[in-house]
């Protein structure tokens, strides 16, 4: 994945995690992905 693609997915993952309708399972999955790619 190139830098632009990675940045886009990181941004969207953070948006997902901050959504009021996001389930705890989805938040955990998004956080696990962010941890795996080495982002905050």
Estimate to the nearest angstrom the gap between the alpha carbon of 23 and the chain centroid: 13
Domains of the chain by residue range: 3-37
C-beta contacts of 33-36 below 8 A and 24+ residues apart: 34/10
Question: Which residues, 6+ apart, have CB-to-CB distance to 37 below 8 Å?
Answer: 6, 10
Closest CA to 33 of 21, 22, 11, 19: 11
pLDDT given at position 10: 94
Average pLDDT across the chain, whole number: 92
pTM: 0.79
> What tens digit of pLDDT does each residue of 26-40 get?
999 999 999 998 865
Whether the predicted pLDDT of 1 surpasses 90? no
């Amino acid at each position: 994945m190139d830098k632009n693609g990675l940045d886009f997915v990181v941004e969207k993952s953070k948006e997902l995690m901050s959504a009021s309708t996001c389930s705890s399972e989805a938040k955990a999955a998004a956080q696990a992905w962010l941890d795996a790619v080495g982002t905050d």
